[in-house]
Amino acid sequence: MNMSRGRYWLYIPLFLMTLFYLVPMFIMLNTSFKSFSEVSLQTMWNLPSGLHFDNFKEAYTKLAPHLWNSIKLVIPASLISAMLGSINGFVLAKWKFRGSDVIFPLILFGMFIPYQSVLIPLVQFMRSIDLYGGLPGLILTHVIYGLPITTLTFRNYYAGVPTELIEAARIDGAGLLRTYWDILLPLSIPSFVVVLIWQFTAAWNDFLFAVVLTSPENWPITVALNNMAGSQIIAWNVQMAGAFLAAVPTLLVYLFLGRYFLRGLLAGALKG
């Protein structure tokens, strides 16, 4: 009944919307693969004469150091905030202490604040501890402002683990750390994947913190790309190839780990 013939018209809006979502992707790749001689804006929609890599080469020479900065930034930022989030989530879900129910929503609110309301103190603070301009300060910033979402994800996950399991471990003489290490941690590998993907994507795609806190040689890819796009000298075709290079890592993560990616997205809106 569901697949009766009359329902095939439903594919029409679906295909039209597919075009809407794919057109920017198409134009980005279409342009990137053209040779320098065929990149006129007026022939934007014509297919390339073959697969040329001029644009990618040019974009890569300009952006390579910044791609590396991004990699050096996102790996520690996501690992550290995932570890801390896991410990916080464990304590807040299973080892409640006085005031922990008040503290949790207070931490959560940090996820929503517009960072413009902390930007000036953040810069002053980073200057005062000499972390302004470089990557360590940006990593620290991502770790701390990532804590609300990582704590939330892990807390919701651990809340679903039966308390009897913890009680049983306690009767067997396991303390808090042993319970965490032997029981909760192995159970939470899927949550780690979710949180790591989320933090990786957030840090890779961030622009605001990076543009405020880093000096040009430490710019991650987003800031470098935006700077490239704003300049009059660098041709639009090179910008397109650069945009593609900047998008590839998170797109790959999405394509291969999409299920976990989606779970991370929903964690922010719905409760586990």
Partner 1 sequence: MRFNRDSALAVALVSPSILAVAIFVYGFIAWSARVSLSAWKGLLPDYTWAGLSNYAGLLADPRFHIDVRNTLLFTTLFVGGCLVLGLGLAILLDQGLRGEGFFRTIFLFPMAISFIVTGVVWRWLMNPAQGSRLSGLNLLFDNLGLDFLINSWHTTRDWGIAAIAIPAIWQMSGYTMALYLGGLRAIPDEVREAARVDGASELQVYWHIILPLLRPITLSAMVILGHISLKVFDLIVAVAGKQLPLDVPAIYMWTTTFDGNFYGRGAAIGMMLLLSVAALVIPYLIYTTRNEAQL
**Interaction residues for partner 1, span 239-258 (CB under 8 A):** 239-240, 242-243, 246-247, 250-251, 253-255, 258
Residue among 6, 112, 162, 233 that touches partner 1 (CB under 8 A): 112
Complex with partner 1: residue 65 or 272, whichever CB lies closer: 272
Query: Among the candidate windows 56-64, 71-79, 110-118, 129-137, which touches partner 1 by CB under 8 A?
Result: 110-118
Residue 47 binds partner 1 (CB under 8 A): no
Distance of CA 111 to the CA centre of its chain: 14
Kindly report the length of the chain: 272
Complex with partner 1: residue 71 or 106, whichever CB lies closer: 106
Complex with partner 1: residue 192 or 204, whichever CB lies closer: 204
Residue 55 binds partner 1 (CB under 8 A): no
Residue 147 binds partner 1 (CB under 8 A): yes
CA dihedral 173, 176, 177, 178 (to 10 degrees): 30
Q: Rounded to the nearest whole angstrom, what is the least distance from the CB of residue 175 to partner 1 in the complex?
A: 5
Crossing angle, helix 54-94 and helix 11-32, to 10 degrees? 120
Q: Rounded to the nearest whole angstrom, what is the least distance from the CB of residue 267 to partner 1 in the complex?
A: 12
Query: Within positions 161 to 220, which residues make up the interface with partner 1, using CB under 8 A?
Result: 170, 175-177, 201, 204-208, 212
Q: Please name the helix (run of DSSP H) or strand (run of DSSP E) that holds residue 198, with its range, or none.
A: helix 189-205
| Residue whose entry in the numeric block shows the structure tokens 């809106």 | 269
**What DSSP assignment string belongs to 10-59?**
GHHHHHHHHHHHHHHHHHHHHHHTS-GGG--GGGTTSPPSS---HHHHHH
